[in-house]
Amino acid sequence: MKNHKPVSRSGRFAGGPAEDVAQFTESISFDRRLWSQDIAGSKAHAKMLVAIGVLKQEECDEILGGLEEIAKEIGAGTFIWKPELEDVHMNIEAELTRRVPAGAKLHTSRSRNDQVALDMRLWLREEIESTVTEIAELQRALVGLAEKNAAVVIPGYTHLQRAQPVFIAHHLLAYVEMFGRDSGRLRDCRERLNVCPLGSGAIAGSTLPLKRELVARELGFVDADGKPKLTQNSMDAVSDRDFMVEFCSAAALMAVHISRLAEDLILWVSTEFSFVKIADAYTTGSSLMPQKKNPDIAELARGKSGRVIGNLVSLLTLLKGLPMTYNRDLQEDKERVFDTADTVRRTLRILAAMLQNTKVNAETCAAAAADPLLLATDLADYLVLKGMPFRQAHHVVGEVVALAERAGKPLDRLTLTELRSVYPRFQRDALKTFDLKTAMQRRTMTGAPSEKEIERQLRMWRQQLD
């Protein structure tokens, strides 16, 4: 049995953990990506230690210099990570102390418990900003496709059955709305997580007079007025993972939206729909069937939503039985958060690119939208305008539809006589109901799919996204 002796085990322990224990407990294989946040936290902490007289200025300067050197090496890929030192916090601190003796003072009044809480808050703060940017890019791609095809009408579906006509732009803008809310939820999450936990120590703060405000300011944990934001309960601060759950939850909901968009696109590229065509570069072939062109990006986007939802469930399950305060179980949080962040960002990016390389098949859309049944409800509205109660109008038009079916002709090919055989007071203008252009113009209220309203929404989104 080979024994290591990591820095955290000095004194109390006769030797280091067994190798298999070290392998089982390490997190350096995944938490090393927190290195820049960990170093930023250490720098701020060191400066504060000068302010309370624990570190001399020269010692602090040495520490800052040492940390910068280490940061450079990590950035260049030359830093040697040691699994026997467990995690990113100990790897950096141990190496710093090897180079700079004053490094041994850096952990004063600090625990890896508040350190990891800090690192994850800093990491997510940046991650959310990049994700929000990626969401806007996907929204722009959707708006772009909508703008290019502003005049194209398709059937809108309920129960995946043709329902009423909509502009394809209206359909695409529905997703822009969803992603707008996703973006808002992530920004709310960022706002709430932007609170500094440092100073909470392992569980109960410190007997030293730490200046927490100073650290918080240094690390940008401030409100709109520049006032430092501090966690208010040290026990909560070291075991709170709400902000990770919020992130994973907002991301899971976004992944669901992505998945629905993907599903629509998969339907739309099928021969049966043929509403859109994805450029060859963004599709894949079949190894067996030479004719195939598959929407694999969309399928994977749909599939990956499963793991993002799973990450949220894992995280909640991880937390639900934990007694206060820090428990090592919490180390399992990071991979779920990282995987969620990586998955949604990669998916957002490739979907945006795919949509930029997608064309709408205007002819197939027009043919599908020409189905007069899509305007059956408009015919009922016509009767309502003539004074008939809607329930009765619904019934009358239902009979008209059945008549057309029996006669084997499209609804708009029925003669006035045939219409009158169902309801004698139909007039010639009833047949005008089936003019698609006029029908679309009529849908004028906020949120409805008239050309004018959609133009307004496109303008509004353009403005918001540019």
Residues lying near ligand ARG in the complex (CB under 6 A) are found at: 27, 31, 87, 112-113, 116, 326, 328, 330-331, 334
Closer to ligand ARG by Cβ: residue 27 or 364: 27
Shortest distance (Å) from residue 210 CB to ligand ARG: 19
Distance CA 275, CA 250 (A): 31
395 as an active site residue: the answer is no
In terms of CB distance, is 239 or 343 closer to ligand ARG?
A: 239
Question: Rounded to the nearest whole angstrom, what is the least distance from the CB of residue 277 to ligand ARG in the complex?
Answer: 47
Smallest separation, CB 8 to ligand ARG (Å): 8
Long-range contacts: 415-424, Cβ < 8 Å, 24+?
422/396, 423/383, 423/396, 423/399
Joined tokens for residue 249 = 């939850």
Using CB atoms within 10 A of its CB, is residue 225 exposed (0-12), middle (13-18) or buried (19+)?
exposed
Query: Which is nearer to ligand ARG, 177 or 236 (by Cβ)?
Result: 236
Residue 326 CB, nearest approach to ligand ARG (Å): 6
Comparing CB distances to ligand ARG, the nearer of 91 and 139 is 91
Tokens, residue 424 = 């004698």
Q: Pick from 113, 99, 79: which is nearest to 8 by CA?
A: 113
User: What is the rounded CA–CA span in Å between residue 89 and residue 66?
Assistant: 15
Distance (Å, whole) CA 100 – CA 56: 13
Contact 63, 55 (CB under 8 A): yes
Q: How far is CA 186 from CA 11, 138, 245, 248, 252, in A?
A: 44, 15, 11, 10, 11
Least distance to ligand ARG from the beta carbon of 443, Å? 54
Query: In terms of CB distance, is 11 or 408 closer to ligand ARG?
Result: 11
Which of 87/339 has CB closer to ligand ARG?
87
Closest CB 455 distance from ligand ARG, rounded Å: 51
Q: How far is the CB of 119 from ligand ARG (least distance, A)?
A: 9
d(CA 330, CA 137): 34
Amino acid at 67: L
Q: Is the dihedral of CA 384, 387, 392, 397 positive or negative?
A: negative
152: left (phi over 0), alpha (psi -120 to 50) or beta: beta
Beta bridge partners of 157: 162
Contact (CB, 8 A) for 201 and 113: yes
Q: Which of 8, 107, 159, 206 is catalytic?
A: 159
User: Does the active-site annotation cover 8?
Assistant: no
Amino acid letter, residue 314: S
CA angle (182 as vertex; 281, 35 as ends), nearest 5: 80
Please pick, among 29, 130, 270, 286, the residue that the annotation labels catalytic.
286
Q: Which is nearer to ligand ARG, 93 or 264 (CB)?
A: 93
Residues 110 and 103: their CA atoms lie apart, in Å, by 13
Catalytically annotated residues: 159, 286
